[in-house]
Chain A
Amino acid sequence: MEFLQPTTWTEALEMKAAHPEALPIAGGTDVMVEINFDRQRPAAVIDLTKVAELEEWGTENGMLRVGAGVTYSRIIEELGGRLPGLAMASRTVGSPQIRNRGTVGGNLGSASPAGDAHPPLLSSGALVELASASGSRRVPVREFFVGPKRNAMRNDELIAAFLVEPTRGPEQFSKVGTRNAMVIAVCSFAIALDVERKRVGTGIGSAGPTPLAAIDAEEFMAGVLDESGLWERPADVDPNAVARFGELVAAAARPIDDVRGTAAYRRHALAVLARRTFTWAWDERRRSA
């Protein structure tokens, strides 16, 4: 196993170009488990923790651009107000030790359907910035996940950052696990209300081969809110509509039975999570209006 340790972003991209087989490592919360448990012996690893550029965040044309190496702890502390859904999800990641080390970039790189950052990135329509020695591109997160633990990256690319608009309305994240802390999602759900554009964003975790958006549910609920003029004058939403929203979220999932739960339970739980998180988000909208 070869250990590559670039200190600048340019150097990192050059190394990746020269060693396309190299496995990137940042916080190590996924990669190290693979190595410690002897599940993987990559020919090379490329350590990104010395690349200062990856730890920066800033704004760019009204979007937040957050370096792939920003940890969950920093997202909670530094970006909690602007990315509340992602911050809520970050709080559920592992333990303080894991949140101090794990990064959203790493989550995207592993592309696990259970990655906690994915549902809020989906619900808020984030972009993933990929870079290689020959240039960079931005991929909508909704097109980024292409299969179980597979993403749209080419093997000469690294994840530079994700870009997302600061919150445009109430956001929620909710995750089912069979322990009250430090648990991998049995299933999870994120919702983001974009009050200005009158859009409802969703993200489903751990209930399909990839993280998913519940597009029918989004359109349905946006329509309900629109038709009744509720975006402008927030009032009670018909409980039947909320229930239908839950059903549509459940229908969007493609879960399987596995060691963490059954497919049937995941669908059931997603409907509950969707109803509850929508209700909490809508309550917040009503309070703030």
Chain B
Amino acid sequence: MGMGRTPPVGLMRITCTVNGKQVSADDVWAGESLLYVLRERLGLFGSKNACEQGECGSCSVYLDGKLVCACLVLGGQAEGREIVTVEGIGSDGALHAVQEAFVEAGAVQCGFCTPGLIVAAHDLLNRIPEPSTVQIREALAGNICRCTGYAKIIDAVHLAARGLAQSR
């Protein structure tokens, strides 16, 4: 990615681990966010660019195991870090229980918020395996959805929690 482009001055190389693989991006302009690097340089478009100011959660990723907004991480800050994006949540082409639950519950409409919600819900269920509705609402308050009114998203998280409990 990024071939054939002549980026502006102050360029650097970033090496980090993304979804378990060590990757590098070259010619990165210092002002590029991790979100931009993931999308435009590493071809991982799953993290979405809805607000680019940390207000919508559409670019939620794990950075060293912590849920963060990739738009608020400067590309260079990812150097040497471990990142898991929505593309790394499922395995071997199979959906994770959280992803399955979103499909099943009808929690996806336009879906632009979905990748961020998948990562945020995944993080919630790691921390609290059987959250109450109130806990779900507080945990997902940083993920804006404009289509669904959230009802089916909350259903999906409950559904995923039940699915994960059964598989344990």
Using Cβ atoms and an 8 Å threshold, which residues of chain A touch B143? Answer: 95
Are A29 and B72 within 8 A (Cβ)?
yes
* B66 sits at the interface (CB 8 A): yes
* B76 sits at the interface (CB 8 A): yes
Using Cβ atoms and an 8 Å threshold, which residues of chain A touch B53? Answer: 32-33, 36-37
A175 to chain B minimum Cβ distance, whole angstroms, is 14
| CB nearest to A73 among chain B residues | B66
**Listed stretches B26-34, B37-45, B96-104, B159-167; interface member:** B26-34
**Listed stretches B17-25, B54-62, B82-90, B107-115; interface member:** B54-62
Query: In chain B, residues 118-142, which have Cβ atoms closer than 8 Å to a Cβ of chain A?
Result: 120, 123, 138-139, 141-142
The CA-CA distance from A165 to B68 in the complex, in Å, is: 30
Are A97 and B76 within 8 A (Cβ)?
no
Using Cβ atoms and an 8 Å threshold, which residues of chain B touch A182? Answer: 55, 141-142
Known: A28-B74, A47-B74, A47-B77. A97 touches B68 (CB 8 A): yes
B91 to chain A minimum Cβ distance, whole angstroms, is 24
**Listed stretches A1-9, A219-227, A242-250; interface member:** A1-9
The CA-CA distance from A73 to B143 in the complex, in Å, is: 17
Interface string of A94-114 (1 = CB under 8 A from B): 111110110000000000000
Interface string of A177-211 (1 = CB under 8 A from B): 00001100000000000000000000000000000
Interface string of A25-38 (1 = CB under 8 A from B): 10111011101110
Contact count A vs B, C-beta below 8 Å? 93
Using Cβ atoms and an 8 Å threshold, which residues of chain A touch B95? Answer: none
The CA-CA distance from A98 to B142 in the complex, in Å, is: 8
Are B71 and A36 within 8 A (Cβ)?
yes
The CA-CA distance from A35 to B52 in the complex, in Å, is: 10
* B153 sits at the interface (CB 8 A): no
State how many residues of chain A have any CB contact under 8 Å with chain B: 28
The CA-CA distance from A37 to B55 in the complex, in Å, is: 13
Query: In chain A, residues 96-138, which have Cβ atoms closer than 8 Å to a Cβ of chain B?
Result: 96-98, 100-101
**Chain B residues with a Cβ under 8 A of chain A:** 10, 12, 29-31, 33, 52-55, 57, 60, 63, 66-69, 71-74, 76-77, 79, 120, 123, 138-139, 141-143
A95-B143, A96-B120 given; name 8 further pairs at CB < 8 Å.
A1-B10, A1-B30, A5-B76, A36-B52, A36-B53, A96-B123, A100-B67, A182-B141
**Chain A residues with a Cβ under 8 A of chain B:** 1-3, 5, 25, 27-29, 31-33, 35-37, 41, 45, 47, 49, 73, 94-98, 100-101, 181-182
| Subset of 30 A-B contacts with CB under 8 Å | A1-B10, A1-B29, A1-B30, A1-B31, A2-B10, A3-B12, A3-B30, A5-B76, A28-B74, A32-B54, A33-B53, A33-B54, A36-B53, A47-B76, A96-B141, A96-B142, A97-B57, A97-B69, A97-B72, A97-B142, A98-B69, A100-B67, A100-B68, A101-B69, A101-B72, A101-B73, A181-B138, A181-B141, A181-B142, A182-B142
